């Protein structure tokens, strides 16, 4: 966007942004009508925006253009894509069940992506990572081999104990809730420590990200007041 050519639009835009920011910030005082207005505008705008991007970036190049301009092979493939797509639209009609099979395609792909992704994307790499722990210099500032070995041992212990923490199978004793084996229970306690650590670290990460966003917004507000608000006041 060229600020020089769209000065007025930008000015209005910055003002709108300022107002909307304040509306959202009013949530700190409690859930209120101002916040809800901003939220509903946001939901509407983001949905419209997503729809436009989807049409422009997906449907046109993947479905419509090949159908109109593509070669014969492309056309057949596009028709093959078009049929389930049309059936999907039955989901907003009373004949909802007609689109079940089109949804089944999506669900089938999703299920396979979940299984395949979990195996190739997490199971293999994370297992390999755990196995490779002892080869890594896990301690950032230490070249001492023993400290590294100790750290690697802690990483592996954390991985294993966390995995075991989630063991579901339990044995039931008369009059008691089902309980796991004492060994598993003890390892779980260690696992709990590692889970607490991971959550604490992740929470701190999210907090720092949010804090940076807050700083950005507060400085935007200041800048607006300083650059535009004061000028506006002066002109009045």
Partner 1 sequence: MKLKFRAPLATTIAIAVGLVVLVGYFIPAAQTLRFIFLRMGIVLAAVALLVGVLNLISVHFRKISDKDSKGGYSLVLILALLATLGIGIYDMFKAHMYGNPNFEWMNWIFTYIQRPIETSLMAVMTVSLTCAATHLLRRKLNFLAIGFFIILLLVLMGTISLSMINFPILEDIRSWIIHVPALGGARGLLLGIALGTITTGLRIITGSDRPYEG
Partner 2 sequence: MTITGLIGMLIVAIFFGLMIIFNVVRSGSKKARLRSISAFTKLKQAIGLAVEDGAQIHLSLGRGGVTSPQSASAFLGLSMMKQVMRIASAGDSPIVATTGNPALAILAQDTINSTSKEVNLNRRGESSEGKLAGLTPFSYAVGSMSSIRDDRVSANILAGWYGSEIIWLSEASERQNSFTLAGTAHLPAQAIMYATVGEPLIGEELFAGGAYLDAGSMHEASLNAQDVFRWVLVIGILIGILLKFAGFDQIIHNLLVGIQ
Partner 3 sequence: MTKNHCPMCGKPNPEDSEVCQFCEARLKPLVASSSEEKDSSSLTPEQIPSQKDSDEQERTLPALLQDARNETSNEEVSPSTYNESAEKGAVEDWLLKLQDNLNTEDDAPSPSTEEDDQDWLQRIRALEAKDKASEKSPHSKKEDLPQWLSEIEAEEKEPEVTKDSLAADLMTKEMKITFGENAQEDTLGQAEMPDWLKGEIEDDALEEKLPDWLSMMNAKEAEEKEPEASEDSLDADLIPKEMKAPFREDTQEEVLGQAGMPDWLKEEIKDDAPEAEQEPEWLPSGETETPLEKKVNVFSQPITMDDEMEDPEEDIFAGDLPKWLTEATSEELAEEGLSEDALAEIMPSELPGWVEAMRPVKTPSQNDLEPLGGEEEYIENSGPLAGMSNILPVEAAINKAQKASKHPFKLKVTKDQQHLIALLESIISNEKRTVEKQTTPFISTQRVLRWIVGLVLFFSIGISSLYKGTLFSYPLHKKEILSLIESIQALPKEAPVLIAFDYEPALSGEMNAITASIVDHLMLQGAYLTIISTSPTGPVLAENFLSTTQTSHYYVHGQQYVNLGYIPGGAAGLLSFVIAPQNITPLAFNGADPWTMQPLRGIESISDFSLVLVITDDPDNARTWVEQVQPYLAGTPLTMAVSAQAEPLVRPYYEVTPRQIAGLVAGLPGGVSYEQLTGHGNLGQEYWNAFNIGVIVTLLMLFISGIVNVGKILVSKGKENEKKESA
Residues 91-120 that bind partner 3 (CB under 8 A): 113, 117, 120
Which does residue 194 bind out of partner 3, partner 1, partner 2, none, counting CB within 5 to 8 angstroms by kind?
Answer: partner 1
Q: Is 145 in the site for partner 3 (CB under 8 A)?
A: no
- Quick one: DSSP state of residue 90? G
* In the complex, least distance from residue 43 CB atom to partner 2, rounded to whole angstroms: 4
**Residues 173 to 202: which contact partner 3 by CB under 8 A?**
173-178, 198, 201-202
Which does residue 175 bind out of partner 3, partner 1, partner 2, none, counting CB within 5 to 8 angstroms by kind?
Answer: partner 3
CB count in 10 Å sphere of residue 15: 14
**Residues 1 to 20: which contact partner 2 by CB under 8 A?**
none
Pair 77, 56: CB distance under 8 Å:
no
Among the listed residues 127, 196, 216, 230, the single contact to partner 3 using CB under 8 A? 216
Among the listed residues 163, 209, 230, 232, the single contact to partner 3 using CB under 8 A? 209
Among the listed residues 67, 195, 221, 228, the single contact to partner 2 using CB under 8 A? 195
Q: Is 28 in the site for partner 3 (CB under 8 A)?
A: yes
Strand partners, 171: 179
Token output for 118: 């979990």
Token output for 229: 């608000």
* In the complex, least distance from residue 91 CB atom to partner 3, rounded to whole angstroms: 20
Pair 87, 102: CB distance under 8 Å:
yes
- Quick one: DSSP state of residue 140? T
| Minimum CB distance to partner 3 smaller for 15 or for 98 | 15
Pair 220, 24: CB distance under 8 Å:
no
Among the listed residues 58, 104, 131, 196, the single contact to partner 3 using CB under 8 A? 58
Q: How far is CA 12 from CA 15, 65, 219, 229, 234, in A?
A: 5, 37, 19, 13, 18
- Give dist(CA 158, CA 201) in Å, integer: 14
Q: Is 131 in the site for partner 3 (CB under 8 A)?
A: no
Nearest to 178 by CA among 191, 169, 166: 169
Nearest to 161 by CA among 196, 202, 122, 195: 195
Residues that bind partner 2 (CB under 8 A): 31, 36, 39, 42-43, 46-47, 50-51, 88, 91, 96, 99-100, 103, 106-107, 109-111, 113-121, 123-125, 127-128, 130-135, 156, 159-160, 162-172, 177-180, 195, 198-203, 205-206, 209-210
């Amino acid at each position: 966007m060229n600020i020089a050519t769209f000065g007025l639009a930008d000015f209005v835009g910055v003002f709108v942004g300022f107002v909307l920011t304040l509306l959202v910030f009013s949530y700190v005082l409690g859930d209120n009508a101002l916040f809800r207005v901003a939220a509903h505008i946001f939901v509407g705008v983001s949905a419209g925006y997503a729809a436009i991007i989807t049409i422009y970036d997906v449907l046109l190049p993947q479905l419509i253009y090949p159908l109109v301009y593509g070669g014969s092979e492309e056309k057949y493939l596009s028709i093959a894509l078009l049929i389930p797509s049309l059936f999907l639209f039955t989901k907003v009609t009373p004949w909802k069940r007609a689109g079940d099979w089109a949804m089944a395609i999506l669900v089938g792909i999703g299920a396979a992506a979940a299984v395949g992704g979990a195996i190739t994307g997490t199971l293999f790499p994370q297992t390999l990572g755990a196995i490779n722990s002892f080869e890594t210099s896990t301690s950032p500032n230490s070249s001492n081999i023993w400290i590294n070995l100790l750290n690697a041992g802690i990483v592996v212990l954390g991985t294993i104990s966390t995995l075991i923490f989630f063991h579901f199978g339990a044995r039931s004793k008369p009059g008691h809730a089902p309980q796991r084996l004492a060994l598993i229970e003890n390892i779980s306690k260690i696992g709990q420590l590692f889970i607490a650590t991971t959550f604490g670290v992740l929470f701190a990460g999210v907090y720092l990200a949010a804090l940076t966003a807050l700083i950005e917004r507060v400085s935007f507000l200041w800048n607006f007041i300083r650059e535009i608000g004061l000028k506006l006041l002066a002109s009045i």
